[in-house]
């Protein structure tokens, strides 16, 4: 195995931190946030930080937080089950038209994307970010989740009005995307990034606030109130685990539905018959799960991190205009079998809008059929760490199986 590349640091009154960040910038605020998480008394062994690490809410994005006897809802976050899916088709670059605008438009028409309206007094408001009337295939897919969601709502009625079926098979905004990519052999891939949408957000926010209420009730002082937690054995712990597992299942299904629609859109633009999912990956990078590490059963929360157990395939995307990677896990025990979930931000969205010009964005996305307007400056390549440096910093966590470069990018 490649020589270990992590940086080791002690936390006063807490667990150690191991960081795979050699050669990539790490904000001091992110280090402070990692230190606060490491001070929690139920951390198992150490906290692991991936090379894309940057400041988040409660817990650092790009962190792996193993725990025994407790779970921190804000460490999972509000985009529960957010993750990636990629499918290789039997098409090659020569099968694509010279002008890719039609493919981008077809995908945009097939998959609702962008912001969806809030529910008002007169009922739900809809726009391009959600379904008006969901197609029958989406309704049928939702039926598999509906009964379990009803059980959650029976305990917590405040969640009953959260968007559910109207967000299934939709992309959302921010760093979520659908891309058409080429690998080094000029084979065509479809890749997408999204999660549990409005319902995951509602579940996340609800239980984060519930955990804070519990901390106040029990007079528990925390290094950061967003590190509020549920002790195992309490009703809220079990209910949260049930709800978050449901949201993770919703997120995985959401990606499968979108992939189906994106591939249908591609078929509408390319007359040549083709197969898809010759090589498919569907993986979370915001989630909590039970795993065995160092001979013990623990809860592993990955916030902006991907499971990289030995032989497991994962996806590490770059930014708009950058390379992305299909990877195979090396099963590094020190990282709790994890790797980065992407390049990681080096500028906040506000900073990017102030510091990056539209001309720079257009130059940095040359050759990609995508939005070239000021509305996506916060997602421009300069807002992210160099993906090549990120991959080099985690050479002992994953091996690269395929290198992809996007030619079409759909953003919300």
Q: Hey, which residues are catalytic here? A: 341
Give the Cβ contact number of residue 197 at 10 Å. 30
CA distances from 114 to 5, 198, 251, 350, 410 (A): 39, 12, 17, 19, 10
CA distances from 134 to 171, 230, 334 (A): 14, 36, 44
* DSSP reduced 3-state for 64: strand
Paired tokens of 147: 């009964």
Contact at 8 Å (CB) between 298 and 373?
no
Q: What are phi and psi of 240, to 5 degrees?
A: -65, -45
- What is the rounded CA–CA span in Å between residue 395 and residue 22? 11
Q: What are phi and psi of 153, to 5 degrees?
A: -65, -30
* DSSP reduced 3-state for 318: coil
Q: What are the start-end ranges of the H helices in 227-379?
A: 235-269, 349-355, 358-364
Contact at 8 Å (CB) between 45 and 53?
no
Q: At a CB cut-off of 8 Å and minimum separation 6, what does 354 contact?
A: none
- What is the rounded CA–CA span in Å between residue 53 and residue 27? 9
- What is the rounded CA–CA span in Å between residue 20 and residue 397? 9
């Amino acid at each position: 195995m490649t020589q270990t590349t992590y940086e080791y640091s002690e936390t006063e009154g807490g667990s150690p931190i191991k960081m795979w960040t050699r050669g990539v910038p790490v904000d001091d605020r992110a280090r402070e946030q990692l230190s606060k998480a490491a001070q929690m008394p139920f951390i198992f062994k150490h906290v692991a930080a991936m090379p894309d690490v940057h400041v988040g809410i409660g817990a650092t994005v790009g962190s792996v937080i193993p725990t025994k006897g407790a779970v921190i809802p804000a460490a999972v976050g509000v985009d529960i089950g957010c993750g990636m899916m990629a499918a290789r088709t039997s098409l090659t670059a020569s099968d694509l038209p010279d002008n890719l605008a039609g493919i981008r438009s077809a995908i945009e028409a097939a998959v609702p994307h962008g912001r969806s309206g809030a529910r008002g007094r007169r009922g739900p408001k809809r726009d391009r970010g959600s379904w008006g009337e969901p197609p029958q295939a989406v309704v049928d897919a939702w039926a598999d989740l509906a009964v379990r969601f009803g059980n959650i709502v029976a305990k917590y009625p405040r969640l009953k009005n959260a968007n559910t079926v109207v967000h299934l098979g939709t992309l959302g905004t921010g760093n979520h995307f659908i891309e058409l990519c080429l690998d080094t052999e000029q084979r065509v891939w479809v890749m997408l990034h999204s999660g549990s949408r409005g319902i995951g957000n509602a579940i996340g926010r609800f239980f984060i606030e519930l955990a804070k209420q519990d901390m106040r009730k029990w007079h528990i002082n925390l290094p950061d109130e967003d590190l509020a937690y549920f002790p195992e054995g309490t009703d809220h712990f079990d209910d949260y685990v049930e709800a978050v597992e449901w949201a993770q299942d919703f997120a995985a299904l959401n990606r499968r539905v979108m992939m189906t629609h994106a591939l249908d859109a591609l078929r509408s633009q390319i007359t040549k018959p083709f197969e898809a999912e010759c090589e498919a990956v569907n993986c979370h990078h915001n989630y909590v799960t039970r795993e065995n590490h160092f001979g013990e059963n623990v809860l592993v929360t990955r916030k902006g991190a991907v499971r990289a157990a030995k032989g497991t395939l994962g996806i590490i995307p770059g930014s708009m205009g950058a390379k992305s990677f299909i990877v195979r896990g090396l099963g590094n025990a020190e990282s709790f079998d994890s790797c980065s979930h992407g390049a990681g931000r080096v500028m906040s969205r506000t900073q990017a809008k102030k510091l990056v010009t539209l001309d720079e964005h257009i130059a940095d996305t040359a050759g990609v059929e995508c939005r070239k307007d000021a509305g996506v400056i916060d997602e421009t390549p300069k807002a992210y760490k160099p993906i090549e440096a990120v991959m080099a910093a985690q050479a002992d966590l994953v091996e690269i199986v395929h290198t992809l470069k996007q030619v079409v990018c759909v953003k919300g």
